[in-house]
Amino acid sequence: MLSVGDVHPRLAEDLDSLPDLLDATRKAAGEALAGLAERAAAVPPGDVDRAPLPLEGAGARGALEEFSRRWEGGFAGSAGPRYLGFVTGGATPAALAGDWLAATYDQNPASSLDSTAADLERETVGWLAELFGLGAEFSGAFVTGATMSTVTGLAIAREWLGERAGVSVSEDGAAALGPVTVLSGSAHSSVLKALSFLGMGRSSLRKVPVLPGREAVDVGKLAEVLETLDGPAVVVANAGTVNTVDFDDLRAIAALKRRYGFWLHVDAAFGGFAALAPQYAALTAGLEQADSVVVDLHKWLNVPYDSAVQFTRRRDLQLRVFSNNAAYLGEIGETPDFLHLTPENSRRLRALPAWFSLVAYGRDGHREIVERCVTLARDLGARLDGSPRWRLLAPVRLNVVCFAPAVDRDIDALVRAIAEDGTTFLTPTVYDGRPALRAAFSNWRTTAADVERVFAALERVAAG
C-alpha cells in the first residue's frame, strides 16, 4: 500500500529500472533514425481515435509501447533527407545529443542564480552572432522560432517608436503610441501575426512595391514612401523570402535608415545562413546594420524544434519591454538574466543542441550543409526546367525551388498525390498570383541521390 511520503510505485519502478528504460528508448530512437531515410516523407492524415486519460499509469515502458503502437506510424519523415516542405531542417547527430542532455539536466536558464547554464546560452548566442556577421554591439537570446523572434524584435521596435514619440509603451500601452507605420516589400505572414499580437495591428503594415519579377523591395519606392511620412517608422526587410529566397538590398536600405531614421528589423529566418558561404555571403551584406534580426535555428542550423535566436542592438529597450521584476528573482544586474529579455520567463536550455552542433561541426561543417543544399536545390531546379511537365517560376537563388506544372492543375490535389507517393513532401504556395509548389532544401542528410529520387517521383506523379 502507498503511504504518504512514498514515491508512486510506477515512478519507483521506473527509477529502479532507469538504465534499462534509457536503453530501450535509445534503441527505439536508433531504429527510428536508422529507418529515417526510407520512411515516408509524409503520412497523409487519417482518423485518429483518442484514448481516454490513463488513470492507473502504464509506467514508462508501457508508454513507449503505446507510443509505438498508436502514434509512431503516423509521424512524418520530416527529419529525413527528402522532406522538402515548408523550410524544415533535421537534427544533426550532435544537436540530437545536445537536445537529449537539455532534457536530462533540465536547466532553466531564465536566471543565473543557480547555474552556469545561462552563460552557455550567452556563449552560443555570441558564436551565432559571429556566424551571421553581427558585431559585438548585438546581444540576443534563444526563443522558440522565427515568429517569436519577430515578436521580440518588433516589441523592441515598438518601444523605440515610443522613445521617439516621448511615450513609454511598456508603461502606458500601445494605445499611448497611436497608429504606427510598418513598411515591407514581401513581409512573411508571421510579421502580421506579430503586429496583431503586439497591439500594433495588422493594418499597420504597408506593402511597398517590389522590383519587377522579384520579391525584393524596390528601394527607390521605399524612399518615396519614407519621404511622405510625418514620424518614424519600422521597416521590415527580408534576407530570404519564403517562396523564392529573394533578398532585399540591405545595404541600400541601411543607407535610407541613416537618412530617415527608422527601425530596421530583418527577417533572416533561413536566408541569414547565406552568410556562412563565401559565394553567397554578399546577399546578407548590410545585415549588421539592422536594429533587430531574426534567425531560425530549427531550419538551416539543423537543431531539433523549437529553436531560433533574436538579436538586437538595443538591449536597454528590450529590458524595458520584458523585464520581470520580483524580489524572489534577484536583482537586474549589468548583464540582465534572460527572463528580463524574452517573452518567456522559465524556459528550457534551448541553446544546448545548437552549442553541441557548433562544437561538433564548426563554421566549416555548417557552411558545407548550406553549400550542399544550394547545389541540390539548383540541381532539382535544372531538372524541372528541362522537363516538359514543369515550369520554374523563379531562378533558384539559394535553397528553394519555386515551380508549377506546365499545364494548369489543382495544386492541392498535386500536393496530396506527392504526399501519398511518400518519396518527398512539398508545400503549396501562390507566387505572382499563380498556384505553385515549393521544394526547400535545408536538411543536413540530403544528397544528390535524393534529388534524383525526388525528381523521379515528381515526374511519376505529374504523369499519373
Peptide bond into 412 cis (omega under 30): no
Q: Name which of 132 and 455 has its Cβ closer to ligand PLP.
A: 132
- Shortest CB 349 distance to ligand PLP, Å: 19
Rounded least distance, CB 283 to ligand PLP, Å: 14
Q: Closest Cα to residue 98, out of 293, 351, 347, 379?
A: 351
Q: How far is the CB of 305 from ligand PLP (least distance, A)?
A: 8
- Provide the residue type at 72 as one letter: E
Copy the grid coordinates of residue 209.
512595391
With residues binned 3-state (H G I as helix, E B as strand, rest as coil), the percentages for the chain, rounded to 5, are 45, 10, 40
Closer CB to ligand PLP, 26 or 207, in the complex: 207
The residue type at 141: A
Please say whether the beta carbons of 251 and 239 come within 8 A. no
* Distance of closest approach, residue 188 Cβ to ligand PLP, in angstroms: 4
Given the complex with ligand PLP, which of 111 and 307 has the nearer CB atom?
307
Query: Judged by CB, which is closer to ligand PLP: 146, or 394?
Result: 146
| Residue located via cell numbers 517590389 | 210
* β-pairing verdict for 308-312 and 263-267: unpaired
Compare residues 112 and 144 and give the one whose CB is closer to ligand PLP: 144
Radius of gyration of the chain (CA): 24
The nearest distance, CB 271 to ligand PLP, in angstroms, is 7
Q: How far apart are CA 271 and CA 280, in angstroms?
A: 10
Report the residue closest to ligand PLP, judged by CB: 145
Q: How far apart are CA 251 and CA 266, in angstroms?
A: 12
Q: How far is the CB of 390 from ligand PLP (least distance, A)?
A: 23
Q: What are phi and psi of 312, to 5 degrees?
A: -150, 160
Q: How far is CA 391 from the centre of its chain?
A: 28
For residue 236, the minimal CB distance to ligand PLP (Å) is: 10
User: Of 240 and 304, which CB lies nearer to ligand PLP in the complex structure?
Assistant: 240
Which stretches of 132-284 are DSSP H helices? 146-165, 169-172, 189-197, 219-228, 250-260
Lookup: cell for 424: 518527398
Three-class DSSP labels, 50-95: CCCCCCCCCHHHHHHHHHHHHCHHHCCCCCCCCECCCCCCCCCHHH
Shortest CA distance to 341 belongs to which of 153, 120, 145, 127? Answer: 153
Cell 515610443 belongs to 162
Nearer to ligand PLP, 177 or 351 (CB): 351
Sign of CA dihedral 166, 171, 173, 174: positive
- In the Cβ-directed half-sphere of 228, how many Cα atoms lie within 13 Å? 8
Of 153 and 162, which CB lies nearer to ligand PLP in the complex structure? Answer: 153
Give counts: helices (H), strands (E), the chain.
14, 11
Q: How far is the CB of 358 from ligand PLP (least distance, A)?
A: 19
Sites of contact with ligand PLP (CB under 6 A): 86-87, 145-147, 188, 190, 240, 242, 267, 269-270, 296, 308
Q: Which is nearer to ligand PLP, 86 or 260 (CB)?
A: 86
- Closest separation in Å from C-beta 330 to ligand PLP: 31
**Rounded distance between C-alpha atoms, residue 98 and residue 353, angstroms:** 4
CB of 234 to ligand PLP, least distance (A): 16
Q: Of the two residues 121 and 246, which places its CB atom closer to ligand PLP in the complex?
A: 246
CB of 409 to ligand PLP, least distance (A): 24
Cα 451 to its chain centre, rounded Å, is: 23
Name residues whose C-beta falls within 8 Å of residue 169's C-beta, 6 or more positions apart in sequence: 158, 159, 161, 162, 176, 177, 321
Least Å from the CB of residue 395 to ligand PLP: 18
Residue 189 or 228: the one with the smaller Cβ distance to ligand PLP is 189
Nearer to ligand PLP, 60 or 192 (CB): 192
